[in-house]
């Protein structure tokens, strides 16, 4: 029994470098369309394995939509829902499938308006630090400089302007106050 449990534990965890591309945990949300729920709880692991994502770039200009959702030529929807194509449809089983695929592409591509919408829907429209609802900005939890670019919704949070500036300064080492242990004496020969 213990061996079986350890095998389950090992298979359920992803590699450390993919920690910023994991699916969000499920929770009940009020969304206007069902396909938006598919976007929020989509596991992008297969896309991240297949495509060359540059984790040190905010915008993924090298990505091509058709590479992310290839035309399968099998008679099934390209979004991965498993629905058979009917009538004159050649790529998407429904219009919702096309909207889902476009939203997933926009998030990975780095289109701020799209991931801001989904982060606000999932985490609420408030600052992740202080709870303020004014002047909200989207923040990469793992900064792009440290490999947080081209990531999934799990690496974004909303922050008010002042908390965002403070976190950015801390992340990049800007405007750090000198510690009291550092010497402020000037060396003169």
Could you list the residue range(s) of the whole structural domain that residue 123 is in? 31-172
Q: Look at residue 75 and tell me if it is in a domain.
A: yes
Q: Look at residue 116 and tell me if it is in a domain.
A: yes
Q: Look at residue 8 and tell me if it is in a domain.
A: no
Number of domains making up the chain: 1
With 0.75 as the threshold, say if the pTM is over it: no
Q: Which portions of the chain are predicted below pLDDT 70?
A: 1-22, 174-189
Q: Look at residue 121 and tell me if it is in a domain.
A: yes
Q: Look at residue 91 and tell me if it is in a domain.
A: yes
Q: Look at residue 9 and tell me if it is in a domain.
A: no
* Sequential DSSP letters for the chain: -HHHHHHHHHHHPPPGGGGGGPPPPP-----SSHHHHHHHT--THHHHHHS---TT-SS-TT--HHHHS----SSB-TTSS-PBP-TT-SS-SSHHHHHHHHHHHHHHHT-HHHHHHHHHHHH-SS-TTT---SSEEEEESS-GGGT-TT--GGGEEEEEHHHHHHHHHHHHTTTPPPPTTS--PPP--
For residue 175, the model assigns a pLDDT of 60
For residue 9, the model assigns a pLDDT of 38
For residue 137, the model assigns a pLDDT of 92
């Amino acid at each position: 029994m213990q061996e079986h449990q350890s095998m389950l534990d090992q298979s359920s965890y992803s590699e450390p470098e993919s920690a910023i591309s994991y699916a969000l945990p499920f929770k009940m949300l009020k969304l206007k369309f069902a396909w938006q729920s598919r976007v929020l709880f989509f596991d992008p692991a297969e896309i991240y394995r297949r495509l060359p994502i540059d984790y040190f770039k905010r915008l993924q200009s090298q990505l091509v939509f058709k590479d992310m959702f290839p035309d399968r030529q099998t008679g099934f929807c390209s979004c991965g829902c498993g629905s058979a194509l009917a009538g004159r449809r050649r790529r998407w089983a429904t219009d919702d499938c096309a909207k889902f695929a476009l939203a997933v592409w926009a998030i990975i591509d780095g289109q701020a308006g799209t991931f801001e919408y989904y982060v606000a829907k999932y985490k609420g429209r408030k600052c992740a630090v202080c709870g303020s609802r004014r002047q909200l900005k989207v923040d990469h939890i793992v900064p792009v400089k440290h490999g947080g670019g081209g990531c999934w919704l799990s690496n974004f949070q909303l922050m008010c302007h002042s908390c965002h500036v403070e976190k950015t300064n801390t992340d990049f080492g800007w405007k750090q106050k000198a510690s009291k242990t550092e010497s402020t004496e000037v060396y003169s020969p």
